[in-house]
Chains A and B, each alone.
Chain A
Amino acid sequence: MGIAIEVNDLHKSYGSIRAVDGVSFTVEEGEIFGMVGPNGAGKTTTIECVEGLRRPDRGTVRVLGLDPRRDGYQLRRRIGVQLQEGSLPPRLKVWEALDLFGSFYPRRVDGRALLEQLGLAEKRNASFDKLSGGQKQRLFIALALINDPELVFLDELTTGLDPQARRAMWDLVRGIRERGKTIFLTTHFMEEAERLCDRVAIIDHGRIVALDTPENLIRSLGAEQRVVFTADGPWDDTPLRGVPGVTRVEQIGERMVVYGRGEGLVGGVVSALEALGVRFRDLRTEQPTLEDVFLALTGREMRE
């Protein structure tokens, strides 16, 4: 597999604000690479430097072997871009948008088939301003794919979408990758990065604080699993502390939280409860997520 994007020591400031402060990473062909971090972390600035829409103060960027600033026109023929703050004229119809954007490229795919795939076939004659948020995003994806690009940029694709639309969007993105394209996306949803990306760069205050597969990031944290349940009636939780793998037990009102590691943790806790004759309900386990990784790395919650 070749290298699709290579970024080295990228810096970009706006006035006294260092939006991107020494970012380096590579994106391999055929992967879904995600940049995740809170709003204002430098994701959009980074992606726009890579797309050639912004000029970096310092550092080098190579995309498909080209310099985005110098070979911008050549590069833009080969990439597809969905912008965080893009728009279309309100009265432009869906089919017109595809027809128009297709005319900018020497090579293009069938717009009708694209609308079909993205579930917009029925909206062919609808104006842009009559589309829902999810439909607008799907249209922007269609526009990003009209030139059959090698590399697709998706900036905050699912912001403003409801959970169902977000999941549908994830399937779409996986479908794009299955057609052999490389995807570089940004998101401030940790869950999205975890579910969708092959590799994730966690960015905070303009710097990459971690970069790996979601599984490795979570594993490297050595974070604990949690077993959570509600117990009825008074009981002594001391024997639970002796279950192999358990590190501590917390009681929050009626809810019990057992922290620990290892494969047999849930089984051990359940057997112990049964042996004690404790009646419990609503038992579930919580795996550590990228959210925990972010918290551990930055000392802050990701959600605002």
Chain B
Amino acid sequence: MRGFWKLLLVQARLYLREPIATFFTIFYAPLVLLLFGAIYGNNPTRLFAGRGTMDIAVPSYIGLIIVTVGLIGLPIGAAAARESGVLRRFRATPLHPLAYILSDIAAYLLMTAIGVLLLILTGVMVFHIQFEGNVLSVLAGFLLGTTAFFALGYLVAGLAPTARIAQTVGMVLAFPMMFLSGASIPLEVLPAKVRAVSQYIPLTHVVTLMRGLWFGDSWGQHLAEVAVLMGCLLVGGAVAARTFRWE
């Protein structure tokens, strides 16, 4: 795995040099939280079974960050590296393909995690949000949701012939998901017909799982979410591996 750590460090630095990617990964969700917090506050409501709007928003917005990185940032980055010849250049070195892929995944994971941490910190410090779950359990759920969406992102990059198409496809998939999954608007306020559609959106399962684990649900209560996300991870990963190409 020679080269892995250095490559991870460089990828992370390169990510932070892209202002738009950095904004949407790290600062967007906390800013949205501040905005809606200023409007709705965090008083307990009957709609959320005695919890406040911000209590619900924080675990939900984790899904917002995951879909932004997984379906917008990652497919563009992966397809552009292939299209521009960066991958070709790496291929002419003894860098192992696995070291490259793992460092790529780790860099996106790191950025997503920083965004999520800042979101949670904002929620705790500004809105004193409640947390009733188990930290390790929430972390595991976060990793499952993230890797599932990264697999979908690599799938988009692998199937798209160019970076531009990868970008378009990623956005077309990501934006409806953001609004129909409960990631930005709680499912509770959506009409029943929309909620019926939501069940078919992978991001809904990330949001449901994160919200559940955040408030202390057991994994046993979320087997459906786990199954869907594992499916995304396995199918996306398998197709991505088959469609991966160096140039």
A171 on the interface (CB 8 Å rule)? no
B226 on the interface (CB 8 Å rule)? no
- Given A81-B92, A91-B14, A103:B85 Cβ within 8 A: no
Residue of B nearest to A144 (CB): B92
In the complex, what's the smallest C-beta–C-beta distance from A8 to chain B, in angstroms?
A: 23
**Is the pair A99, B6 in contact by a Cβ cutoff of 8 Å?**
yes
In the complex, what's the smallest C-beta–C-beta distance from B94 to chain A, in angstroms?
A: 4
B10 on the interface (CB 8 Å rule)? yes
A270 on the interface (CB 8 Å rule)? no
**Is the pair B94, A91 in contact by a Cβ cutoff of 8 Å?**
no
**Is the pair A51, B92 in contact by a Cβ cutoff of 8 Å?**
yes
Residue of A nearest to B5 (CB): A103
**Is the pair B2, A104 in contact by a Cβ cutoff of 8 Å?**
yes
B164 on the interface (CB 8 Å rule)? no
A86 on the interface (CB 8 Å rule)? yes
**Is the pair A53, B84 in contact by a Cβ cutoff of 8 Å?**
no
A85 on the interface (CB 8 Å rule)? yes
**Is the pair B94, A76 in contact by a Cβ cutoff of 8 Å?**
yes
A77 CA to B94 CA in the complex, in Å?
6
Question: In the assembled complex, which residues on chain A have CB atoms less than 8 Å from the CB atom of B18?
Answer: 91
A92 CA to B85 CA in the complex, in Å?
14
Number of A-B contacts (CB under 8 A): 62
- Given A73-B96, A101-B93, A103-B3, A96:B10 Cβ within 8 A: yes
**Is the pair B81, A100 in contact by a Cβ cutoff of 8 Å?**
no
In the complex, what's the smallest C-beta–C-beta distance from A159 to chain B, in angstroms?
A: 14
Query: Residues 64-81 of chain B: 1 if any A CB is under 8 Å from the residue's CB, otherwise 0?
Result: 000000000000000001
**Is the pair B92, A53 in contact by a Cβ cutoff of 8 Å?**
yes
Contact of B14 among A51, A53, A73, A92 (CB under 8 A): A92
B95 on the interface (CB 8 Å rule)? yes
- How many B residues have CB within 8 A of the partner chain? 23
In the complex, what's the smallest C-beta–C-beta distance from A98 to chain B, in angstroms?
A: 11
**Is the pair B94, A89 in contact by a Cβ cutoff of 8 Å?**
no
Give chain A's interface residue range (CB within 8 Å of chain B): 20 to 34
Contact of B84 among A87, A91, A101, A105 (CB under 8 A): A87
A106 CA to B89 CA in the complex, in Å?
18
In the complex, what's the smallest C-beta–C-beta distance from A15 to chain B, in angstroms?
A: 17
Residue of A nearest to B83 (CB): A87
A100 CA to B9 CA in the complex, in Å?
9
Question: In the assembled complex, which residues on chain B have CB atoms less than 8 Å from the CB atom of A106?
Answer: 2
- Given A92-B10, A92-B14, A106-B2, A87:B85 Cβ within 8 A: yes
**Is the pair B14, A87 in contact by a Cβ cutoff of 8 Å?**
no
B88 on the interface (CB 8 Å rule)? yes
Question: In the assembled complex, which residues on chain B have CB atoms less than 8 Å from the CB atom of A99?
Answer: 6
**Is the pair B95, A104 in contact by a Cβ cutoff of 8 Å?**
yes
B117 on the interface (CB 8 Å rule)? no
Question: In the assembled complex, which residues on chain B have CB atoms less than 8 Å from the CB atom of A96?
Answer: 10, 13
- Given A99-B6, A103-B2, A103-B3, A87:B93 Cβ within 8 A: no
**Is the pair A100, B86 in contact by a Cβ cutoff of 8 Å?**
no
In the complex, what's the smallest C-beta–C-beta distance from B188 to chain A, in angstroms?
A: 42
**Is the pair B96, A86 in contact by a Cβ cutoff of 8 Å?**
no
Contact of A86 among B10, B13, B17, B92 (CB under 8 A): B92
- Given A73-B94, A73-B96, A76-B94, A86:B7 Cβ within 8 A: no
B91 on the interface (CB 8 Å rule)? yes
Question: In the assembled complex, which residues on chain B have CB atoms less than 8 Å from the CB atom of A104?
Answer: 2-3, 93-95
Q: Which of A76, A81, A86, A96 has the most CB of B within 10 A?
A: A86
**Is the pair A85, B85 in contact by a Cβ cutoff of 8 Å?**
yes
A76 CA to B95 CA in the complex, in Å?
9
A83 CA to B90 CA in the complex, in Å?
11
Residue of A nearest to B91 (CB): A53
In the complex, what's the smallest C-beta–C-beta distance from A258 to chain B, in angstroms?
A: 50
**Is the pair A100, B17 in contact by a Cβ cutoff of 8 Å?**
no
Chain A 122-157 interface residues, beta-carbon cutoff 8 Å to B: 143
Question: In the assembled complex, which residues on chain B have CB atoms less than 8 Å from the CB atom of A101?
Answer: 93
Contact of B89 among A88, A91, A103, A105 (CB under 8 A): A88
Q: Which of B10, B18, B92 has the most CB of A within 10 A?
A: B92
A105 CA to B94 CA in the complex, in Å?
7
Question: In the assembled complex, which residues on chain A have CB atoms less than 8 Å from the CB atom of B3?
Answer: 100, 103-104
A47 CA to B108 CA in the complex, in Å?
35
20 A-B Cβ contacts within 8 A? Answer: A53-B92, A76-B94, A77-B94, A81-B93, A83-B85, A83-B88, A85-B85, A85-B247, A86-B92, A87-B85, A87-B89, A88-B86, A91-B14, A91-B18, A100-B10, A101-B93, A104-B3, A104-B93, A105-B94, A143-B89
Task: Please list the 9 inter-chain residue pairs (A to B) with the smallest Cβ-Cβ separation, ordered nearest first.
Answer: A87-B85, A103-B6, A86-B89, A81-B92, A87-B84, A91-B17, A76-B94, A104-B3, A104-B93
Taking Cβ atoms with an 8 Å cutoff, the residues of B that contact A are 2-3, 5-7, 10, 13-14, 17-18, 81, 84-86, 88-89, 91-96, 247
- Besides the known contacts A91-B18, A143-B89, 10 further A-B residue pairs in the complex with CB atoms under 8 A apart: A76-B94, A83-B88, A86-B88, A87-B86, A88-B86, A89-B81, A91-B14, A103-B5, A105-B93, A105-B94
